Amino acid sequence: MSQSIIPLTFPGRGKGLRDVYKNRFLLKLLVSKEIKVRYRGSILGILWSYMRPLMQFVVFYLALGLFLNVQGSTPNYPIYLFAGIVLVNFFTEALGNATRSIVENRDLIRKIYLPRELFPVASVWVSAVHFLPQVLILLVVCLFNGWHPSLWQLAAVLIAFAMLAILAVGLGLFFGAINVYFRDSENLVDLLIMMVTWLSPVLYLWSQVEHVLGPFFWIYQLNPMTVAVEIFHNTFWHATLNAEQAASPAAQVVPGLDYFWLPIGLGISLAVLFIGQFTFGRLSKKFAQEL
């Protein structure tokens, strides 16, 4: 009777993100562990994940919406502002935690072998757990303001979220691997996180950027974060406007947003994921020694 022969492989050689899919049970355990550890000994627990977007919303709304009277030129400005903040917070939290995920799990990595990619992916997954209830709050607010989205808008917002998750995983793999060798990477990522809110139309209108950049506006649109925020505004904020408000200059949608810029943003995010996985795979071989 013939026996199947399993080919020999080098110890520790993984298959990248495919190993994450094969080890979904371990991913679930890591996500559960991250959530429990983060709120251990906390009175409010997971409610702390809502404090940051709430405080940001209050500060920005008071400073820009009331003091600078941005809401005077932007209808339903609170929804416009909140729709951008919840998305940006998901990305910044995911990227920051993914960058630190390898270093913070050094004890586990030094003791046993498991796919290293699990740690950055788990960090992004935890951020998604925090993100979804915030979106539910946004949905309730929109429903009370006459929300009437189309099926394509709902589909586009799901694609935009997936695009940002892919981007966060790609950057998390890249900076997470480099951070093992150069701890300055955390400071660099913190600087990027500070800039994200201002490099996307969260607090202002995209038309204001187009007015300043003119023919170079396309450079601004190459940022997948920018495209995702505009998709969220189009789905949640724009769909709450009445006919008169939707016809105002402030409510105009970026030309080609869904059929041109969204595919480009998704392509850029996939390219970043490929680069991040390649870098992570090359550097992960010596994680245990460096940690």
- Check whether 9 has a pLDDT greater than 80: no
* Whether the Cβ atoms of residue 266 and residue 224 lie closer than 8 Å to each other: yes
CA gap 114, 122 in Å, rounded: 13
Q: 96-150: per-residue pLDDT in tens?
A: 999 998 888 888 888 777 888 899 999 999 999 889 888 988 999 999 998 999 9
Q: 40-85: per-residue pLDDT in tens?
A: 655 555 666 677 777 888 888 888 877 777 777 788 999 999 999 9
Per-residue pLDDT band at 227 (split at 50, 70, 90): very high
CA gap 117, 260 in Å, rounded: 31
Residue 203 burial by Cβ neighbours in a 10 Å radius (0-12, 13-18, 19+): buried
Q: What's 47's DSSP letter?
A: G
Number of alpha carbons in the 13 Å side-chain half-sphere of residue 5: 4
H-only helix segments in 148-249: 151-181, 184-199, 206-213, 217-221, 224-232, 243-246
**Average pLDDT of the residues in 209-231:** 94
- Check whether 26 has a pLDDT greater than 90: no
**In the structure encoding, which two tokens stand for residue 276, read together?**
């991040």
Per-residue pLDDT band at 291 (split at 50, 70, 90): low
Say what the pLDDT of residue 10 is. 52
- Check whether 1 has a pLDDT greater than 50: no
Per-residue pLDDT band at 168 (split at 50, 70, 90): very high
User: Whole-prediction pTM value?
Assistant: 0.89
